[in-house]
């Protein structure tokens, strides 16, 4: 018999919902039914925006008191790729050799299921606890991230729904459960450079203007000096050029223009605005009066942020160490997540499964690890509500 308090069974049930972004696939409705039956007030929220698909989301809350511990996550998954290469159907939730296979097992239906199972078990034992437990589950994390967490948070503000602390169950551990808690994330800024030249025959360079040397000088100007040396909790800001292209298929033609794209993962020294200003300063210096170029930067909602270590982080660390025997590293590495939106409303940390197989063919999670994660979350909840006031 299906039991939502069993994290593995719930993960399996969620995997069997084919919720490839932006399809809900039945996953959010399944969670809403489970939480509703347990006494949560649930809200299935659909949001829209021009040029993007409609997206379903879920907000649920048990209790009305403070403090309010919010669990966040997503049930949408990336496409399966070549299904023939999977050893089992990607939405079958097959269990084999102690592992649960399926798209989303690691990223992040296992984390969502573990948090729900933990909350239900805690409520069974403490139905009258002082405080609230909530869930913010989106169907738009792997997609544009326009009609998902951002808009749920807006809806929460409009409806007087606040939280004190948040745990986001993304797969954070690189090697084994207990390795790492994310206490922040780097920001991301993408820019484009165009250098104009004059097309011509390679045998008559005096009649043309090759833009490639100019682009090489600009790239060198951006990369010559480090942007910073990092901070106590962040590594150094890093810029990578991802493409330099002239679109030229001929070997005897000097191109008319050259385009380059770069991405910068930046720490909390910078904002997108101050970083853009620094890059433009470097480009102007490298260009001098010789190189005619254009630079533009894409809008970004990926800012650098950090939750300061303190009682909340310590409670998570203690629950992890008790379960795994490992003292987790506090990290700000990796890409972006929906924590970049959540941090504007309250402190957020990330801890979930081991991420070795996320987005891969034959994505899977260890059954023992899913169960252990649920116990860690339950331990965090127990510690969180053991005192009536919790500082950040």
Return the active site residues.
76, 141
38 contact partners, CB below 8 Å, separation of at least 6: 4, 62, 120, 123
DSSP 159-224: TT---SEEEE----BSSSTTSEEE-EE-EEEEEEEEEE-B-EETT-GGGSB-SHHHHHHHHHHHHS
Concatenated DSSP letters for 61-111?
EE-SSSSEEEEEEE--B-----GGGSSS-TTS--EETTEEESTTIIIIIHH
H or E element, residue 56:
strand 52-62
CA distance 104 to 110: 7
Of 125, 10, 119, which is closest to residue 75 (Cα–Cα)? Answer: 10
The token duo for 154 is 């807006």
Cβ contact 151:57 at 8 Å: yes
Distance between CA 392 and CA 330 in Å, rounded? 15
**Within 10 A of 196 (CB to CB), how many other CB atoms are there?**
14
| Gap between the Cα atoms of 196 and 370, Å rounded | 55
The Cα–Cα gap between 94 and 270 comes to: 45
- DSSP letter, residue 237: -
């Amino acid at each position: 018999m299906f039991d939502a308090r069993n994290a593995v069974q719930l993960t399996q049930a969620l995997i069997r919902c084919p919720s490839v972004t932006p399809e809900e696939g039945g996953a959010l409705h399944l969670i809403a039914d489970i939480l509703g039956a347990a006494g949560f007030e649930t809200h299935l929220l659909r949001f829209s925006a021009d040029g993007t698909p409609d997206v379903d989301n879920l907000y649920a809350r048990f209790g009305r008191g403070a403090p309010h511990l919010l669990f966040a996550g997503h049930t949408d998954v990336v496409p399966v790729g070549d299904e023939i290469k999977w050893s089992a159907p990607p939405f079958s939730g097959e269990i084999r050799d102690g592992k649960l296979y399926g798209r989303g097992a690691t990223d992040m239906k296992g984390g969502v299921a573990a948090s729900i199972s933990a909350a239900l078990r805690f409520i069974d034992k403490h139905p009258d606890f002082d405080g609230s437990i909530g869930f913010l589950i989106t169907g738009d994390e792997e997609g544009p991230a326009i009609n998902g967490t951002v808009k749920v948070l807006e809806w929460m503000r409009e409806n007087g729904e606040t939280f004190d602390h948040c745990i986001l169950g993304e797969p954070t551990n690189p090697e084994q459960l207990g390795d790492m808690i994310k206490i922040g994330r780097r920001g991301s800024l993408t820019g484009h450079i165009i250098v104009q030249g004059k097309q011509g025959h390679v045998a008559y360079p005096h009649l043309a203007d090759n833009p490639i040397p100019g682009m090489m000088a600009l790239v060198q100007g951006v990369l010559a000096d480090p942007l910073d040396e990092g901070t106590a909790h962040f590594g150094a800001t890093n810029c990578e050029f991802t493409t330099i292209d002239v679109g030229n298929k001929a070997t005897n033609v000097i191109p008319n223009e050259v385009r380059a794209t770069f991405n910068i993962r930046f720490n909390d020294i910078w904002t997108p605005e101050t970083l853009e200003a620094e890059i433009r300063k470097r480009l102007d210096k490298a260009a001098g009066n010789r190189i005619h170029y254009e630079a533009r930067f894409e809008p970004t909602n990926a800012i650098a942020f950090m939750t300061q270590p303190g009682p909340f982080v310590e409670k998570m660390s203690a629950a992890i160490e008790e379960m795994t025997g490992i003292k987790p590293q506090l990290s700000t590495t990796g890409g972006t997540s929906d924590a970049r939106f959540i941090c504007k409303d309250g402190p957020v940390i990330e801890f979930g499964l081991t991420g070795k197989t996320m987005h891969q063919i034959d994505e899977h999670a260890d059954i023992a690890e899913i169960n252990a994660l649920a116990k860690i979350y339950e331990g965090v909840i127990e510690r969180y509500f053991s005192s009536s006031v919790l500082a950040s």
